[in-house]
A and B are shown apart, each in its own frame.
Chain A
């Protein structure tokens, strides 16, 4: 009996060791990575979905987790530039640093939106030269990103290539189905609109709007990452009201006083929403999270 137990224990330990350890920066990438990796990987996200991924400290615990990882997936497009380079180098883990086979910058697989042209500098705010990095709010863009996750898994664990390929295809199909379903829900309401229906605080819903053909009036921020001045709030509030905008979308971490002032001046309702999957509440999985975003827009258009 003891012998059998030892065999079982050894076997389970061997299985545990065989599993790929994949660490992602965001919960959305973790979700996609788990879908692609299936049973072959243990996936963990450094962030929990409530943070603003632009502004995160180099938490030592992140260094520990990355030090043990076989694959590290980042959004890329300079979203995590303020903290991940230090996490990666301090981990002393060559495999997951740029150039290593476990380094996976998924943004490189996505068709970028709002890629700046011409000269850029910091007087223009927090501009990302590679384009807007908030792509995961579009199911289509997340499907594109999942190919980079698949490629990283295949590089590290080529023996399961067939599984990873099959899983990535299944994920892409499910995301396409989700997109089609929500498109059908939104289409009648959007067809009745003549102008832009929404405005965002920071341009983090841009890919979501693009995926569903939702016309946006722009952002309350005049320059990305720079809190708007009182003058800018007043100016954009009047303009958005005149254009018939019905809803303001903002991340949960957007400044509440700014949003309140904007709503007061424009009469446009502001919704502070999760911008990533979260461990608790109604946004536990990507499908729930995406449906929740769609329902918020539908409710604002009074056609739900």
Chain B
């Protein structure tokens, strides 16, 4: 069944690619294909190289008012490759002054990693705060998102969104109707920095109450700073700090904090070295006796990247992660990751 469905999708893609040939020019249809091959070695990894994700994105103006986008991705889930819709939206940045909005299925416009396709991340795998709060691949859902650019003398952009909330994160089941749908907002501003650098700051909130009455509230701060000299991104700093309040329908409230900080230095347009520092802690974790047992999960991931152009990346990371609890280190794990990413066809312009 899956094979037939995949073949059907592939057939559709071939039709689309034919439609995008030069003789069909004038429709504005852009097609982008991304390949992401990742190998995990050492530690508890399965020591092999596998395609992590193949992604096909089609986007174009539908007419003078609307834009459409379709993002299909096949990815490895427990050894099986599943082809599915990641994003399917209709939206506009031409209908309401200073506004953008979209309706459909999409990755929610909160945080930094959640809005960026994994093959565009500056490192290979997600930090723990992402996997625990917003899941490895990010949270996508069906709903509506509206953004407004404030008429202020500095950059200020507000995004509001609401989605079905039947599921949260990456799932393949239908889920159940929530008590309170997933709702979120993001406020972004920008400041010039010394030496022609710039800093984008985002404040985020996401909330939902699932069908069982479990309430989740997420509060986040994301920072992205860049310094560029011509073709070389000389310095990048990317960081997210999230705080989660999880109130189950029955039981104690759980307060958790997590972050990652990733400084990266670019030696040339092609070569860069970064080190990601991760932290994650359940602030009110208790043992069976009800005593507070503070613990801190850490990670340190040096990452070396080579970009022959903006359309290909070869990356190697050697990292260590573990847990600090009551003065003792445990669960230490060393890991090696190798990654190859390529882009075929068009590639949408990047955000800052």
Contact = CB atoms under 8 A, between A and B. Distances in A.
A82 B190 contact: no
Interface stretch (B47-55, B72-80, B145-153, B295-303): B145-153
3 interchain residue pairs of minimum CB distance: A253-B230, A60-B190, A94-B94
Contacts of A87: 349
Contacts of B229: 253
B310 A82 contact: yes
A122 B352 contact: no
Interface in B52-105: 61, 64, 67, 93-100
Interface residues of A, number: 41
A98 B95 CA distance: 14
24 contacts: A54-B231, A55-B228, A60-B189, A63-B155, A63-B157, A64-B154, A67-B98, A68-B151, A82-B310, A85-B349, A86-B349, A87-B349, A89-B67, A89-B93, A90-B100, A90-B351, A91-B149, A92-B98, A92-B100, A92-B149, A94-B95, A99-B64, A100-B94, A253-B231
Nearest to B96: A92
B95 A81 contact: no
A214 B149 CA distance: 48
Interface string B169-187: 0000000000000000000
Interface of A: 51-52, 54-61, 63-64, 67-68, 81-94, 97-100, 122, 126, 225-227, 251, 253-255
Contacts of B268: 255
B64 A82 contact: no
Nearest to A81: B349
B196 to A, nearest CB: 8
Contact of B309 (A51, A68, A94, A122): A122
Contact of B97 (A85, A86, A93): A93
A86 B94 CA distance: 13
Nearest to A86: B349
Nearest to B99: A92
A225 B348 CA distance: 19
B350 interface: yes
B295 to A, nearest CB: 38
Contacts of A59: 190, 198, 352
A58 B96 CA distance: 22
B200 interface: yes
A225 B154 CA distance: 34
A97 B190 contact: no
Q: Which of A52, A54, A100 has the most CB of B within 10 A?
A: A52
Given A55-B228, A63-B149, A64-B154, A93 B349 contact: no
A57 B228 contact: yes
Nearest to B190: A60
A51 B229 CA distance: 7
Contacts of B96: 92
Interface residues of B, number: 41
Nearest to B97: A92
Q: Which of A81, A83, A94, A225 has the most CB of B within 10 A?
A: A94
A227 B269 contact: yes
Given A82-B310, A83-B349, A94-B93, A60 B155 contact: yes
Nearest to A253: B230
Q: Which of A87, A122, A226 has the most CB of B within 10 A?
A: A122
B99 to A, nearest CB: 5
B309 A67 contact: no
Nearest to B198: A59
A61 B350 contact: no
Interface in B206-231: 226, 228-231
Contacts of A82: 310, 349-350
Interface string B220-253: 0000001011110000000000000000000000
A29 to B, nearest CB: 19
B16 interface: no
Nearest to B28: A98
A175 B351 CA distance: 37
A85 B98 CA distance: 15
Interface in B315-352: 348-352
A253 B154 CA distance: 29
A300 B27 CA distance: 49
Contacts of B311: 122
Given A94-B94, A226-B309, A86 B188 contact: no
A57 B149 contact: no
B192 interface: yes
A85 B269 contact: no
Contacts of B348: 85-86
Contacts of B198: 57, 59-61
Contacts of B154: 61, 64
Interface in B286-310: 309-310
Nearest to A254: B230
A80 to B, nearest CB: 9
B117 to A, nearest CB: 14
Contacts of A60: 155, 157, 188-190, 198, 200, 352
B48 to A, nearest CB: 30
B20 to A, nearest CB: 14
A123 B95 CA distance: 39
Nearest to B310: A82
A76 B231 CA distance: 19
Contacts of A67: 98, 149, 151
Contacts of A225: 309
Contacts of B151: 67-68
Nearest to A65: B155
Given A52-B230, A61-B190, A92 B93 contact: yes
Contact of B230 (A51, A63, A97): A51
B350 to A, nearest CB: 6
Given A92-B98, A92-B100, A226-B309, A58 B93 contact: no
Contact of B349 (A54, A58, A97, A254): A58
A85 B32 CA distance: 15
Given A92-B100, A227-B269, A64 B349 contact: no
